[in-house]
Each structure stands twice: as C-alpha cells, then as structure tokens.
Amino acid sequence: MITEFGYDTFFKITGICVLAVAIALIVVEPVTYRTIIITSAIIIFGFTSYFFRDPERNTPQKGTLIISPADGKVLQVQKIKEREFFNDDVWQVSIFMSPLNVHVNRSPISGTVKYKRYKTGKFKMAFGDGASIENEQMVIGIEGEYGKVLFRQIAGFLARRIVCILNEGDKTLMGERIGMIKFGSRLDVVFPLHATPLVKVGDKTIAGVTVIGEFQNTIKE
C-alpha cells in the first residue's frame, strides 16, 4: 500500500516515468539508448513505490507505553534540558531513518495535541549532533493520560519535505499514522524522567510497534 502522505510525489514521479518510457518507445534510437531510458524509469518507479510503502502495524495496547514513531536506528539516548514544551530535564531518544526505511510516522502515545510549531532551519545531515537544534523541523507536543511526549520530525540533507496532519487540540491514538518525512531523515522523541527508556544506541525500531519507553507511574503531569 502507498501512503496517502506521498500521493502527490508518487504520482508525479510515476507520470514522469510513464512519459519517459513512452517517448523512448516512440522516438528514441538506437535500441541501446531506449533500453537505458526504460530501465532507468523502471528503477526509479520501483524505488519510489518502495519508499512510499505503508505496511499495517500491530501496536501494543498498553497506555503507559511510549511507542516508536519511526522506523530506523537509535542514534542517541540521553538526558537533555528541554525548554520548549517541558521546560525541564527529560529523556531524548533520537532515531535515524535511512532512505530504505518506511517513512510513515506514527503517534508515540494516545492523547491531545497541546503544542505544534514549524521551525525553519538548515538541512544538515540528519545523523549529526546539531540536527536536533539547527535543522528544519516540525515539533509536536502530546499530553496523554500518563504524561507528555514531544517529538520532532527533523529534515535532513535529502529530506526536505515534512508532512504532519496533527494540529493543536486534535486527539490522536498510539500508533496512528500522523505524517512522514520524505527521503531520509531523523525523529527525536522526548519524554519526562519519570518514564524509563527501553532502547539503546544501535537498536532498530519499527514505527507503531517498538516500545522505546514506559511511564513508571500513573500520575498525570
């Protein structure tokens, strides 16, 4: 299945590939050039279909869990001072998504969107230390039954299109599709110190499936 968040890009690229093949078959000579064009179009179409895939996921049903919002690899698990939503010391889990990962993002918890901000910035490599601060990003804060979570969809060197359908006041469910970042990127997940990180650097994550943390009490912040 192709994600709805990528329909515009997918159909544009598909149209270009179909047009290229048609021109190659009708106009281009010799056969060698025609073959190169057709083969290239097929490869580009294949990669585009693969990139915008959107498989179904079975999300764990436990309210205290914090679920990975992205497929990828854990870059960092660290304590930071977060001044935008928590204004406190918090945990931050950073996940890098390569161009080969599924890029559909999912809500890490169930709750209400309390904060949304789009920040313009640079397009440095998403795995770099400065990407969380300097790169263009969408910042979303959600308040759930057991606590709050902030996540940042961060653009990278190739990923320059961020899609997020959430707005302040919206209700969202854990594991629900909420957007994507196109063509390789990074996602930071921030949660309070009363939650416990359950992943380590180097771990692979699956959006909507992998548990990256858990709230350790039932007291709402």
Known catalytic residues are 185
Cβ neighbours for 213, distance < 8 A, ≥ 6 positions apart: 65, 66, 91, 93, 189, 191, 195, 196, 197, 198, 199
The one-letter code for the residue type at 110 is S
How far apart are the two ends of the chain, measured CA to CA in Å?
Answer: 38
CA distance 89 to 87: 7
Distance CA 214, CA 83 (A): 22
Partner residues linked to 77 by β-bridges: 93
Neighbours of 112 (CB within 10 A): 13
Element counts in the chain: helices (H) and strands (E): 3, 14
Residue 52 has which token pair? 């915008």
Burial 48-80 (b: 16+ CB within 10 A, else e): beebbebeebebeeeebbbbbbbbbbbbbbeee
CA distances from 91 to 25, 149, 189 (A): 56, 10, 8
